[in-house]
Every structure is written in structure tokens, then in C-alpha cells.
Amino acid sequence: MGELKQIHAQMLKTGLVADTILVSKVLTFCVSSKYGNLEHARMVFDRVNRPSTFMYNTMIKGYSENNKPETALLLYQHMLDLSVPHNSYTFPFLLKACSSLSAMEETKQIHAHVVKLGFGSEVYAVNSLLHVYASSGSMEAARLLFDQVLKRDVVSWNLMIDGYAKCGKMETAYEFFKNMPTKNVISWTTMISGYVGAGMYKEALNLFQEMQIEGVKPDKVALTSTLAACSYLGALDQGRWIHAYIDKIGIVIDPILGCALTDMYAKCGDMEEALEVFKKQKKKEVALWTALIYGFAIHGRAREALDWFETMQKVGIKPNHVTFTAILTACSYSGLVDKGKSLFESIERVHKSRPRIEHYGCMVDLLGRAGLLEEAKGLIELMPVKPNAVVWGALLNACQIHKNVELGTKVGKLLVEEDPDHGGRYVHLASIHAAAGDWDQAVEARREMKERGVSKLPGCSAISLNGVVHEFLAGTKSHPQAAEIYRMWDSIAERLEKEGYKPALQNLLLDLDNEAKEMAINQHSEKLAIAFGLLRTNPGTTIRIIKNLRICEDCHTVTKLVSKIYDREIIMRDRTRFHHFKDGNCTCGDKW
């Protein structure tokens, strides 16, 4: 930059500053080079008698790309005032500035200029407009423009798909995707990422498989998104296949992809493989360390989580707020109260940061699980920010575990008022009353839930076999092999009875006799998944199940017994953590 300033000084002395080509090159360097200087560019620009269209475009680009969108718009206004001619390159960076500011009125005005000045059919300008409309969620305006223009390229279609995906309109996004005359890798990636963002994980995996059939080589974004889908579904086989595919075609596993693989293995229940991926990464950023620590946390392996947390700091990696959430979760799930308190205090004392609300939530959960309900309540009262539903929910869960009806009732009612559309709040409150034998209040909580039109999220369990994800909903017979699965469960139930098992019917809030209650509890989704797993896997094979809700007490007891009777390891991930069942025991220590 110093040399350029000397050159510019010579230009001023010799009069070459009037040479628009030379001045344009100076501006381009100042704006585009990593050694450039936008302020110097503006000084050069302001000394030009009549700046050209190229010069205005260059400066508008510079301001748009350097987080100064307001200045870019002001410069455009100056361009209009002096009647400087436009070209198709004037608008893209100008519209990028509008997008940064979510300036819809200015976008519409520029759109009018694009049409008025004869650039309405220029794909470059049209795509810039589509980008602003789509990124701001103005899909009606985007669709109107898309339908009006005759010249559309693959970028135009991709922008529409991305816009609809970000608005959660995946059906419309897929219609555009399906009707594209030509697709590129970004088209596939946008759809896969959209499905993952919308929680449509099976659709994401199916589309990735279709992408393979079509012979389209996925980019790292597609691979990262598909691995995230595997994580949510617990689809270990598919995740392993993607890992093998990455190695086979020689894709370099960068920090983002390495983190996605580590997270996938951890959330699919294979911590040993997660650790292998972690160790092979040359560049270990904080996100990768956090993924590993959180993996050990949700598997109940707190000691290993703590060891890696200490190692992380020894090698000079500073933990962030997500890392602290992970390590506090590890302490909570393993009952390490003193260590958890020490870590929580260190956030401010050692790391000079302020605990976030999620850290308070972890501490309330830690204290609550340990039976220190009054201390947990006291911590909530001393919080510097207003506690949210997650924090109160942690205390309510603790009240249910430790059967503290009085406090549980207060917290439950508060939560129902603050979070009236969450069915789980009513169910928790009803369960606390039921556990205490207060059936009138339990029924009242359910009645209030029904009157408000709130429904409980149905229990769903998934098991992945041979690359196919099989899902089971509680109380349904939607699976193609339902008859065989229910016969298998009857066989399991007979063996459970011989082991002395009796169903835990006392907490079921159903107006049924005991026989009907037993039938209902036997149709919980994880029991159906277990029956299917025993049917479709070889003896001795580990069964892996993903459940969307917290596993109930009865299913937990049953799974322990099944692991012993059938000599199987059963790894189950529920809403919060992993349970490793083996030889009649669970790694959670019956505290979850």
C-alpha cells in the first residue's frame, strides 16, 4: 500500500491523475486487494473530476464488501444526481448493500431503475434482485420477478430454492428443484441443507442417495449437512458410508467436516470412532474439541470429558460458551456437583466471562438431579437475567425425579403460564401429582391441556438397519411388519414375566383398567423398536435406538431386562442423553 501511495503521488505531480485507466487501476487495487485501503480509495475517487461508471461501480463494490452498505447507497444517489451512466455491473453490489440492510424500499426503487434503464433482462441484475428478495423472505416478490423474466440460469433457480427453503416451504422448494432444466451441485446442496434446516432428516438422506445415483459429486456443504441428518436420526451406517466415501474420493477433511464427523459418531453412539476422527485432525479448533467433550457428556462419560477439557486448555485452546455448556452437562449427567460448581465459578473468575442463561440451566439441572432442590431454586432467584422455560423445566424435572410435589406444583403452574403451548409442561405437572397419588390434580392438569388445545408430542423411536431408517410411533401399527413385531413383543413379554417383571402402571394417566393400561404401555415406541431390532439382527449384535422423548421408567426397566435376557447391548439415545444397556444394567445408574 505504501508503494501505491508513492505511485499515486507521482501521478498527481505529473498530471497522470487525469488518466482514467490508471486511476481505475489504483481504485481497483485499493478496493479489491487484501493490502488495499478503502479510505485511500475514497480520497483518490474524490479528486477525480468526473468519475466514470467503472469507478462508481468499484467504490460501491468496496463499500458493500466492507460492511459499509449505507455509504454504498449514498454513493449511488450521488451517481444518480450527476446522471452518471449505469451498466449491468452497477446493480449487484448495490443490491448486496440493500440485502445487508434489509432495505426493501430501496430494493424496490433500484428494481424500478433496473427495468427503466433497460437491464431488466440481464441475468446478472435479475439474480441480484432475486437474491435480495429471497434472502429477506419476500418470496412473493421473488416469484413475481422469476416468472416475468425470460432469461434464467441455474443461479436463478437455486436462489428460489434457497429462498423457499429458508422460509420453511420445502414442498415448494422441491417443486422448483424437480422442474429445473439443469441442476448443479449447489442445487442439490441447497435442497439437502434446506431439509436438514426444516428437520426433515429422512428426506435429506434420501436426496443425498439420489444425488449419488445421478453421479453428482457432493461438495463439503452437502456432506456436512447430510452428516447432520445422520446425527439427528442416529443413522450410524449411513454416516459410516459417507465417511468411507470422503476417504475414497480423497476429500480433505477440514475443521468443519472433521467436526461434523466427530459429532455424527458421538450422536450415533460410537464414541470410540468419534475419538479416532478427532485424533486424526491436524487443526483442532474449539468447535471440534467441544463436539468431542459434548459427546462424552451425553454418554455419561464425565471423567473423559473433563480430561479432554483440561487437555484442550493445556494446548492453548480457549473454551467458549458452548464448551462450558458441554462440560457442565457432563457434570450434571454424572452427578459431579462439586466439580460442576467449580467449573461454573471459573467462567467468571478464571475465563473473565459472564455465565449465560444456558449455563445457569445446566447448574439448575446439576443441583436438581443431585436432590439439592432448594439450592437450585435459590440459584434461579439469584440469576442476573430472567429465567427462561428451559431453566424452570430443569427444576420441574428434578421435582419429578425426587417426588417433591409442593415445589413441583408451583414450578409446573408457573411453566404452564409462561409456556402454555408446550404439551410436556402439562404432562410433567400431571406426572408429579400422579406419583404422589393426587389423581384429581393429575387429571386436572390433563384437562387444562385438552381445553387449551395443546397436544403432547407423540413418542417416536427410530432404528437404522442396512441403510434404512425404521420409525415407530407409540400405539400405532404403521410399520409394514407390524404384525410380526407385535408377535415378537408378546414373546418378549412372556420372558419378562418369568423374570418377575411387572409393568409400572401407577403413573399412567389413562381412564382404563389395568389390563388396558398394560396394553398401552407395551406399545411405547422404544419397545416396538427393540422388538424389531431383535427380529432383524443377528444374536449378539448391538441394537441402536433413537427416541425423541425422555425414556419412561417402565421402558427403562424393560430395556435393562431385555439386555440381560437376550444377551444384547442396547444403546438408546433419548431426548437428553445416551443409555447403554448391558447385562441388566444401564450406564445412567438409573438417574436420568
Determine the pLDDT at residue 341: 98
**What was the pLDDT predicted at 243?**
98
Convert the pLDDT of each residue in 149-199 to its tens digit.
888 999 999 999 999 999 999 999 999 999 999 999 999 999 999 999 999
List, in order, residues 6 or more apart from 38 with CB less than 8 Å away.
30, 31, 62, 63, 66, 68
Q: What's the CA angle centered on 161, arms 157 and 163, to 5 degrees?
A: 115
Residue with cell 405437572: 429
pLDDT given for residue 514 in this prediction: 47
Q: 293 by DSSP, 3-state: which? A: helix
Q: How far apart are CA 46 and CA 419, in angstroms?
A: 57
In 3D space, the residue among 140, 129, 120 whose CA is nearest the CA of residue 96 turns out to be: 129
Whether residue 291 contacts residue 265, with contact meaning beta carbons closer than 8 Å, is answered with no
Phi and psi (nearest 5°) for 471? -110, 145
pLDDT at residue 59, as a whole number: 94
pTM: 0.86
Q: DSSP assignment, residue 512?
A: S
Q: How far apart are CA 529 and CA 521, in angstroms?
A: 14
Q: How far apart are CA 46 and CA 282, in angstroms?
A: 48
The answer to whether 72 and 92 have CB atoms below 8 angstroms apart is no
Q: At CA 431, angle to CA 429 and CA 434, rounded to 5?
A: 115
Domains for the chain: give ranges and CATH numbers.
Answer: 1-36 (no CATH), 356-456 (1.25.40.10), 460-586 (no CATH)
Q: Look at residue 538 in the predicted model and tell me its pLDDT.
A: 96
* Strand 570-573, strand 543-547: pairing: parallel
Task: Give 190's strand partners.
Answer: none
Crossing angle (nearest 10°) for helices 170-179 and 185-197: 170
Q: What are the start-end ranges of the H helices in 336-458? A: 337-349, 357-369, 373-382, 389-401, 405-418, 423-435, 439-451
Q: Pull the grid cell for residue 421.
A: 403451548
- pLDDT, residue 313, reads 97
Specify the amino acid at residue 391: V
User: With a cut of 70, which residues of the chain have pLDDT below it?
Assistant: 1-19, 505-520
